[in-house]
Structure 1
Amino acid sequence: MMDPPSAATGGRGKRKKTSAAPEKNKRLKMGEDGEGMDGCVHPTHSPRISLLLNRLQQPVTLNELTELLHYAALGKTGGITQPSWCRLHHQRKVKGVNVVIVNGLTQSHFYKHYLTLQHLRITYTSRVTFTPSSQNIASEIFSSEVSNSDGPSIHQKKESVKMHKVNLCSGAALRCHPVITKFGTQTRGLTAYLLPLQEMIQRHYPVKGMPGFEDFVCTDSVNCVTDSSPLYGLDCEMCLTEKGNELTRVSLVDSDGNCVLDELVKPENRILDYLTRFSGITAAMLRPVTTTLRDVQAKIKALLPWDAVLVGHSLNGDLVALKLIHPHVIDTSLLYRKEFGQRFKLKVLAETVLKRQIQTEKKMGHDSIEDAAAALELAQYFIKTGPRQVLERHLEELWGYTLEEEKEEEITDSSAPSLSLRFADILQTLGRTVAFIGKRSAVALDLSNQQWHSSDKEVLASYRKQSQSSFLSVLQFSSFSDHVKRCVPEQEQRYQRVCANLRDMCVVFAGPFPAGFSEREVKRFFCCCGPVRKIKMLNTAVRVHAEVEFELLEGAVLALKMLNGLSLQGQSIKVQRPVNESMLDLDETLDALMGDALNTSSLYAIKTKLRTAESMNISAKVNGHTVGAQFPGASTIKTANGPCPTKAHNKASKLTEETVRETFGNFGAVQRVDLPAKPGKYARHASIKFESSHSKHAALTSEDLSMENYVICPSLTPSHLHSWVSLATTVDAEGEDTEKTHVHNSHQDQEMELMMRKLDRYLGKIFKSLPPCTLSVVVLPGHNSVHGELPGLCFMEVKSGSGGEQ
């Protein structure tokens, strides 16, 4: 959809000076309500989605995605507020929600196959990086708690029910219990009881990337936990030192209850109290010990399989003592839940559920092996028995309820809404249908709402055959995940190749440079085109060349257009791209990126550093044209005193939002200005998004811009990326010299390409089948590897209310 022409269509007119304060207020208002975020004209009162300005380059989590889904389905009438990271406009017009989860794919896969995935890059106008989750995404969507659901349409009768008066003869009454509210009534696999990332953060579990855990060690765990993954019980004992609680003993038991690790540990700091009455540790026991914290960290990493699940009672304290980060945990203190956040002691649960005495007064302190084994058995019992049976067997002993108490308080009105806060339960209470279609999974739904299929083709056919779409439908494609599992030995090598191919798009080779030219001088020479990430000098016996890697695609494009053929100290410099297979479709990819829905009204601008240019005696010729001449797709702006730079202009090299808005506002309303800069440094380049694509065109085609020392070109790097090479930063430094060695497996490459084409076709058919005004979300989940987090990608679009495909 084309934008209407802006009132300001050129740069020849006088600049109109306006107050900075009203302009700022206007921008803030735009960011808050989201109007005009994509620069398009929208049908009146048609639902649409937009990202908040301050969240463009921040990844969203699974919890934030469910936040959007809750608002889309329930809205303000259901007591739900707008999501914290985006805006869904005219939510009341939303007629349904559809989520497609494509397991096994990452953000890098999308940009590697960018040209192939035409439907995804054209149809979805909102795109944001997605943080990988250890949880089952489909299950979390259905079972996520709607914490703010206080609207009259949902809980209008909740005051008539007393939670502490439960009658097990009524199935609906079970939903009042905190265990059922959290886990439902069905017996499910262990993945249903893993602690979600957001809850781990809230309960102070060590989480990678969170403040305070920078020096913690991560286990070699990846995002491949299944219901058959092994459970390991863990328990630690601590003592009090000058620095606080420190580890003195750690015990690990396997799923059969066998102790595989039991070590005493020497604290690093002076011990103030051995806490013997709790830990059982004495000075005599620790005196001969030489084992350190680092030693036991290494042993645990070596012992745990890559898909291990750790079990413990209030396990966060143990992991903090170990200074260990593990993403897959089950906390038994949160399985057997009590009201108001209270928790049972491990000793009470072991005695009531396992009929076993632990932590008795006869023993001196706790036995960490015994405690680890008890927590493990409690988790295994809960998983095997199921939440409902656990309640029926231990309701009176643990929670103090009788089987039939206060019968007169029973709910007799069959139409009374459920008190469950689970998303799926609330929707069904309101008469809205929910459905899951995919491979068999631990989804918190009745079997009547699930359809299990063995292939993506069957999932698609099943959805399209529905006579009436469910209000909330979640589809799960698993063919890519299956493909990845089949190629496990080659997977890391193939991912490194994807990273290398993406990185190559930001690389240019340049030379020959004058003898003795240094890496620092090369960087100063090329930074006039954009931020440089890395320089690699290529010294031969005769001449000096360099490999220059930019952070942004725009930098490489401008380097080719501005610096190729330029004379440096009397020597002509040649700038060219790498010559390899990954570059064959580059021109087509760049054209597609220019027309990407995220870039249609955006420009990239740099502020040249004239002192560098002068010191290097850069010629006034750029690709055979004087500085300031036009070249395809980019504009170089003349200086005020002609093409020859002077030192007087160095003061103007600093960019500010005010000056950028004042300069580019001559071509139309500027919606957003991004000025990325390192701490303590000022910005040298900017991304400018106009409210209209016509304003962008006017800026690109203007011949007499009065902006000093600017170079502009169409934006290429999508707005949700800090830089293009941020897609490919997980390869270890030791592998940098080998990462560009492209080892090919043509059969697997062809298979992957065919799968991508099929996926894009399937997604297009699903979108076409959606009813008008349906919020469509496509999630590439990403995953965690031994080399770090591989981010995913989330696409969002509301289908046009006219019923046609956008």
Structure 2
Amino acid sequence: MELETETIPRKRKGAPNSALATEPDLEDEEPRAKKARLSSILFAENDVVTHKQLCELLKYAVLGKSTVPEPSWCQLLHQNHLNNVVVIILKGMSQLHFYRFYLEFRFLRKTFRHKFSLPPPKSSFLFDVIGLQKKKLARGFPRTVKGSPNCENFILAKCNGSITDNSPLFGLSCQMCLTSKGRELTRISLVAEGGHCIMDELVKPEFKIMDSFTSFSGITKKILNPVPTELKDVQNLLRQLLPPDAVLVGHSLDLDLKVLKMIHPYVIDTSLLYIGKQCRRFKLRFLAKVILGKDIQCPDKLGHDTIEEARTTLELVRYFLKYGPKKIAELNLEALASREELKAASQEPEKKGGPTKPPNMSVLECLDSMGQKLLFLTRDIDELSSSRNCLTIKCSSNKEVLEEARVEVPLFPFSIVQFSFEPFSPIFADEVKQSMKTKWIEMSTVYVGPFIKNCNIGPLKKMFKSMGPVQSVTLVLETFRPYFCVQYEVLEAAQLAIETMNGILVEGSYIRVHRPVTEFTLECDTLVRELEQDCENQGTIYVTGFGKAFKERLLEQSSLFPGLEAMILPKDVKSRQQKKYCFLKFKSRDSAQVALEILKGKDWKLKGRHALTPMHLQTWLKDIHPEPAMPSGLQLVPPLLEKHVFQIMEENHPRIVAWRCNRKIEKLYHCLSPGTLCLILLPGTNNTFELHPGLGLMKIKEEEESDPPGPGV
């Protein structure tokens, strides 16, 4: 299912074509009434926000539109009225945690209207988003991935020989895309030492593509559609082509081997071969220019040429072997790189009111340019930063992180507060994913009946479909009189069927409409009530039963619906046809209620209710893929004594951890001053068995929000 968002009443300047303006222009308001605020609609496709896009927002929040570009995926109005920025990171948590313990995260879901997916994290999540580097020593050379904890399911290359000075070198370069499972291979080039390309293949990813990285790779989804080659074919070909003593050469070669899911012990990584002071790595394009005097990755070409990149890495290795490290040190690469950056910044054409800072600056560098210091609170030793404009406070526990944050955060313009949690075990995570999908299917299913034995099925199906899109209608064969099992596509349709059809007279029978009673639906009524109060659902209504001209009719009579901000129009993925239901977003719940009564009136003849399914949750559920079963030998061993079971449930159960986490964030949030942009980031997890995407929530705190909660956590 795809969603098209139509917003009322005019197009947002610079927004993608699929989204129109969401907020009234506040520039005409009195200065005293101006305040920083976020638009009501995200412009990111499928609500997926990359780490780079998240960095865009944070830099814009720090510097404003006169210095850096506006974020491409959301709208921050009146940035100059923003007082502070606070990023709260829940390390070890993912979307899976949030939706599995949805009821426990009560404060988050009732406070934060904006939710968006984050791609599965790399090891450098804080560096990708903030520019904050881990305090680590330089690693040795050559670099190998053998023995890495994330490589248990990797394939070992045929490397049973020992390397010598005459061992052959092979340049390797890969392009990749971002899918629902992380980064996957899309192109691979292998070049022999003499410069001859012996392998150049396009590769079709296994999972759904979220970002093709076309500007870097030149590859689009359309190009990959007819490609038959898969990752396993590339792995087999590499094992055939590479001799036992082959040495692979590449730039940031660990990323290429990771996306290839291969282990090769003999490698030369040019990003480490030419590494600078304080572990600074230089781009391949820069090294090619200053070392070899050649231009690669030209900006006038679409995408990078992987054959060219592989050949360049081989030339860089030959240069190093010929002249040695002393010659490289004499070049003073750090000084050359700094001059290149200044030259690029000065040659950037200055637009009126446009950005003047280099767009590739990190958030940390932006703060430094403003003379501001970052506050970083964490309990993880390996996250400590040595940056001169970052004050890092090391805490012994999450409780101490909260205590320090409540005192220190209001004193800093930009803060990062990191709580750390143990991620789900792979077995438990797999069970949770399957139970979540089963729960949503059962909640969206109703049993209807009894009917008379000779009932007319055609009109009954029409009656079921009038509530919303139907996935399936099945006749129940275990009952004396006919019952039907109706599975709906959206939860709102099932709830509407229960509320409007239960107890009515149909063909001489008073029918009952109810959900199946299983372990997943025991607390369904509670969950439905809480979903209705989700901040993302506030002011949103579900409407079904309209025809093709509904959108035009609604726009013509928009004066009847004050406060209407957006229409969310689902489309069928295959046929691209608009479905016969939609969601309407209003500024307030009262405006939504008035509109609902009008739409259900005699003139419109539609059905509807207040929304239950946050758009982000619906998208996430659609993207859950069935996972292979875990090996039968792996089992969870229960504790021996009953009191141990009680103790684990009381102190360490993920449900209790989620509840305490929610309370900590609530207490910290109430310490923030009005006008603070607050982002909650669940980075996701990256382990041996699978990747779990992350989740982001954001909001700007306002003056009228409630007082802090009482003591307790």
Of 200, 211, 218, the residue aligned with 1:245 is 200
8 Å CA contact 1:95, 1:773 repeated in 2: yes
CA distance in 2, matches of 1:696, 1:724: 25
Per-residue deviation, 1:553: 1.7
| SS of 2:411 mapped into structure 1 | coil
1:666 corresponds, among 551, 560, 585, to 560
Q: Which ranges in structure 1 are unaligned for 5 or more consecutive residues?
A: 1-22, 145-182, 195-202, 219-233, 248-291, 302-309, 349-367, 379-389, 406-416, 609-652, 736-742
Name the amino acid aligned to 1:63.
Answer: K
1:342 has 2:331 as partner: no
Superposed, 1:754-793 pairs within 5 Å as: 754-783=656-685, 790-793=692-695
Q: Distance in 2 between matches of 1:106 and 1:517?
A: 48
Q: Secondary structure at the match of 2:466?
A: helix
The 1:567–1:724 alpha-carbon spacing in structure 2 relative to 1, beyond 3 Å, is: farther
1:726-737 aligned at under 5 Å gives the runs 726=622, 729-732=624-627
Decide which of 39, 47, 60 is 1:58's aligned counterpart. 47
Quickly say closer, same or farther: Cα 1:32–1:667, change in 2 above 3 A.
closer
Residue equivalent to 1:273: none
Q: Alpha-carbon deviation of 1:491?
A: 3.1
CA distance in 1, matches of 2:657, 2:456: 46
Give the Cα separation in 2 of the matches to 1:392 and 1:431: 37
Matching of residue 187 in structure 1 with residue 121 in structure 2: no
Quick one: structure 1 residues 334 and 545, their matched pair in 2 at CA, closer, same or farther if it must change by over 3 Å?
A: farther
- How far does the alpha carbon of each residue in 1:160-193 deviate from its partner, in whole angstroms, 9 at most, with x for none? xxxxxxxxxxxxxxxxxxxxxxx79963679xx9
| 1:70 maps onto 2:59 in alignment | yes
Preserved contact between residue 447 and residue 483 of structure 2 (Cα < 8 Å): yes
Q: 75, 78, 97: which is aligned to 2:85? A: 97
* CA offsets 1:446-488 (integer angstroms, 9 cap, x no match): 3872223342112112222438632221121112xx152xx44
Contact 1:101 1:474 (8 Å CA) reproduced: yes
Residues in 1 aligned to 2:426 and 2:594: alpha-carbon distance in whole angstroms: 50
**Given the alignment, which residue of 443, 446, 458 partners 1:508?**
446
- CA offsets, 1:293-336, max 9 Å, x none? 846637999xxxxxxxx99504789969x994799xx9934554
- The Cα offsets for residues 383-411 of structure 1, whole Å up to 9 and x where unpaired, read as xxxxxxx9999422684979xx9xxxxxx
Q: Return the alpha-carbon distance in structure 1 between the equivalents of residues 621 and 251 of structure 2.
A: 40
Query: Which amino acid is 1:781 matched to?
Result: P
Matched, 1:446 2:387: yes
Does structure 1 residue 720 correspond to structure 2 residue 616?
yes
Q: CA separation in 2, counterparts of 1:518 and 1:109?
A: 46
Task: Judge conservation of contact 1:532–1:550 (CA < 8 Å) in 2.
Answer: yes
Q: Offset of 1:542 from its aligned partner?
A: 5.6
8 Å Cα contact 1:661/1:670 also seen in 2: no
Q: Which moved more, 1:512-521 or 1:114-123?
A: 512-521
Q: Does 1:676 align with 2:620?
A: no
Counterparts of 1:123-522 in structure 2, within 5 Å, are 123-143=111-131, 187=137, 205-209=175-179, 245-246=200-201, 294=232, 297=235, 313-314=250-251, 324=260, 332-334=269-271, 336=274, 341-344=285-288, 394-396=328-330, 399=333, 421-438=361-378, 439-442=380-383, 444-446=385-387, 449-466=391-408, 469-479=411-421, 482-484=422-424, 487-511=425-449
Superimposed CA distance per residue, residues 216-238 of structure 1 (whole angstroms, 9 cap, x where no aligned partner): 699xxxxxxxxxxxxxxx97769
Matched residue, 1:112: 100
Q: Is the 8 A contact 2:271 2:283 kept in 1?
A: no
SS at match of 2:616: coil
Name the aligned partner's letter for residue 60 of structure 1.
V
Give the number of aligned pairs.
558
Cα deviation, 1:727-782, whole Å, max 9, x if unaligned, reads x73235999xxxxxxx9998766622221221111101211222332211101223
CA distance in 1: counterparts of 2:692 and 2:423, whole angstroms: 17
Relative distance call for 1:568 and 1:489 in structure 2 (3 A) is same
- Single out whichever of 501-510 and 549-558 deviates more from structure 2: 501-510
Asked if the contact 1:717/1:724 (under 8 Å) is kept, the reply is: no
> Kindly tell me: are residues 700 and 748 of structure 1, through their superposed partners in 2, closer, same or farther at Cα, counting changes over 3 Å?
farther
User: Given the superposition, is the C-alpha separation of residues 392 and 215 from structure 1 closer, same or farther in structure 2, using an over 3 Å criterion?
Assistant: closer
Measured on the aligned residues, the alpha-carbon RMSD in Å equals 5.4
In the superposition, the TM-score normalised over structure 1's length comes to 0.57
Please say if residues 177 and 184 of structure 2, whose CA atoms lie closer than 8 Å, have aligned partners that are also in contact.
Answer: no
Quick one: distance in 2 between partners of 1:520 and 1:311?
66
Matching residue of 1:386: none
Match of 2:585 in 1: 689
- The answer to whether the Cα contact below 8 Å between 1:204 and 1:316 also exists between their aligned partners in 2 is no
CA contact (8 A) 1:334 1:343 kept: no
Equivalents in 2 of 1:433, 1:400: separation in Å?
24
Q: How big is each residue's C-alpha offset from its partner over 1:10-40, in whole Å with a ceiling of 9 and x where there is no partner?
A: xxxxxxxxxxxxx9763547977653599xx
Counterpart-to-counterpart distance in 2, 1:319 and 1:67: 26
Q: For residues 803 and 692 of structure 1, what CA distance do their matches in structure 2 show?
A: 16
Q: How much has 1:102 moved relative to structure 2? A: 0.9
Larger radius of gyration: 1
Supply the distance in 2 between the matched residues of 1:338 and 1:467 (Cα, whole angstroms).
Answer: 34
For residues 286 and 599 of structure 2, the distance between their equivalents in structure 1, rounded to whole angstroms, comes to: 70
What TM-score, normalized by structure 2, do the two folds share? 0.64
1:676–1:462 Cα change, 3 Å: same
8 Å Cα contact 2:406/2:668 also seen in 1 = yes
After superposition, what is the alpha-carbon deviation per residue over 1:627-665, rounded to whole angstroms, capped at 9, x for unaligned? Answer: xxxxxxxxxxxxxxxxxxxxxxxxxx3354212334564
Contact 1:664 1:699 in 2 (8 A): no
Does the CA-based 8 Å contact 2:537-2:612 persist in structure 1?
yes
Answer whether contact 1:507 1:556 (CA < 8 A) is retained: yes
Q: 1:683-706 deviations in whole A, cap 9, x for unaligned? A: 200111224433222234459823
Closer, same or farther: CA 805–188 of 1 in aligned 2, 3 Å: farther
756-765 or 466-475, larger mean C-alpha shift: 466-475
**How big is the shift at 1:67?**
0.8
Out of 593, 604, 617, the residue aligned to residue 531 of structure 2 is 593
Structure 2, unmatched stretches of 5+, are 1-6, 145-172, 203-229, 240-246, 275-280, 293-309, 340-356, 631-637, 640-644, 709-713
Instruction: Name the residue aligned to 2:295.
Output: none
1:557 shift after superposition? 0.4
CA 1:787–1:698 in structure 2 vs 1: closer, same or farther (change >3 Å)?
farther
CA–CA distance in structure 1, aligned partners of residues 406 and 256 of structure 2? 47
- Structure-2 separation of matches of 1:779 and 1:702: 39
Q: Conserved in 1, the CA contact under 8 Å of 2:8 and 2:565?
A: no
Q: Distance in 2 between matches of 1:720 and 1:478?
A: 24
Shift of 1:44: 1.4
Matching residue's letter, 1:475: V
Assess if the C-alpha contact under 8 Å between 2:567 and 2:585 holds in 1: yes
Alignment partners' CA distance in 2, 1:311 and 1:543: 71
The residue type paired with residue 766 of structure 1 is L
Q: Is the 8 A contact 1:216 1:325 kept in 2?
A: no
The partner residue of 2:520 within 582, 600, 605 is: 582
8 A contact 1:46–1:90 mirrored in 2: yes
Letter in 2 for 1:111: Y
User: Which letter maps to 1:143?
Assistant: G
